[in-house]
A = this chain, B = another copy of it.
Amino acid sequence: MRRIFYFLLLLFFSSTVFAQLNQNGKIAIAIHGGAGTIKREDMSPEREAEYRAKLEEALKAGHQVLENGGSSLNAVVAAIQIMEESPLFNAGKGAVFTNEVKNELDAAIMDGKTRNAGTVAGISTVKSPVAAARVVMENSPHVMMIGQGAEQFAEEQGLEMVDPSYFFTDRRYEQLQRIKDTEQQQLEHDGDKDSGDRRPGDQREGMLDEKFPDRKFGTVGAVALDQEGNLAAATSTGGMTNKRYGRVGDVPIIGAGTYADNTTCAVSATGHGEYFIRSVVAYDIAALMKYKGLSLKEAGEEVVKDKLVKMGGGGGVISIDAQGNIAMPFNTAGMYRASISPGGEMYIGIYEDE
């Protein structure tokens, strides 16, 4: 009897010590609002101030959750939902339009403790796509749901549904029209009047990207470390302006645009999704840490600033490890980004040189 008592006492103390270790107060968070050809000379001071203010608001909302002892999952969702509701970013309200003038949204979330994950793609009626990804993770045996099936599941789960028109913004509509006009002019210039004949793989696709450098970017994401030592990552996007054929990028691809594992890191990516899928970007950073012993910073730089550059894939990632180290490498002119370190230092940046 006595033995059992001592054993239970030992168990109690060791679990308390263990909890203390994890609850040493180390919390940290990083967010992004997209990467691309974001240049100081193209940005009005007012516009820049709007972005910085919204990044700060989202960052602080996520950090507040962590300070209150909330989970990293709750923190990343809180931060992302503020950006989803802002028309500044290409996610939720403010998402770019497809060729058929629709908004088709993708999102993903991953829990670093269990490596459980949820993703949705091609949805148009759920107000918060990241919330849809979360119910897929937590309340279904599946990881990925697409289209109307995903919408039905979200609705059954009691999420807020909206008319597709909720996602409409004038700015994105005008952006689509400009891209379509330019495409039409290019087709006519090429002596090819039938726009149905245009193949997305041809040269003109590249020309368009130079004129509309941000049409593939603007995804939002967040990564966080909570008091329990658990990491989480989440990402939400409207995809690519004028996209066709139900195109899906890297965001809802676990391992490409989103990944989290307590033993390595949590990563959320933004950029030219096709290259991020082919390079398995988010998991590659984790693998370099796990198998080659690289630090978070070294792993991220190797993947984003070397491998992706060689392949031609523009973009960046935000990442965090279990010690609260944060790295936000990108290979484009700018990336909307912000972080609060375990020491409480806040950082907000847009351009490369800050």
Interface residues of A (CB under 8 A from B): 110, 115-117, 121-122, 138-150, 152-153, 156, 196, 199-201, 205, 244-249, 253-256, 259, 273-274, 277-280, 283-284, 287-288, 291-292, 311
Contacts and interface: CB of A to CB of B under 8 A. Distances in A.
B245 A117 contact: no
Given A146-B121, A146-B248, A148-B246, A141 B283 contact: no
Nearest to A287: B287
Contacts of A115: 278-279, 311
11 contacts: A122-B147, A138-B201, A141-B201, A141-B274, A142-B247, A144-B248, A145-B245, A146-B246, A156-B196, A253-B254, A280-B280
Given A149-B246, A254-B256, A144 B291 contact: no
A116 to B, nearest CB: 7
B255 A116 contact: no
Assembly stoichiometry (copies): 2
A280 B283 contact: yes
Among A156, A205, A248, A277, residue most surrounded by chain B Cβ atoms (within 10 Å): A248
Contacts of A287: 283-284, 287, 291
Interface secondary structure of A, over-half rule: mixed
A110 B280 CA distance: 13
B278 A140 contact: no
Contact of A142 (B146, B150, B245): B245
B245 A141 contact: no
A280 B292 contact: no
Nearest to A259: B280
Contact of A152 (B245, B254, B274): B245
A247 B145 contact: yes
Given A254-B256, A284-B287, A291-B288, A246 B117 contact: no
A306 to B, nearest CB: 14
B255 A149 contact: no
Nearest to A200: B140
Given A141-B205, A149-B247, A255-B280, 12 more contacts: A144-B248, A144-B277, A145-B246, A145-B248, A150-B245, A153-B245, A254-B256, A254-B280, A255-B277, A283-B283, A288-B291, A291-B291
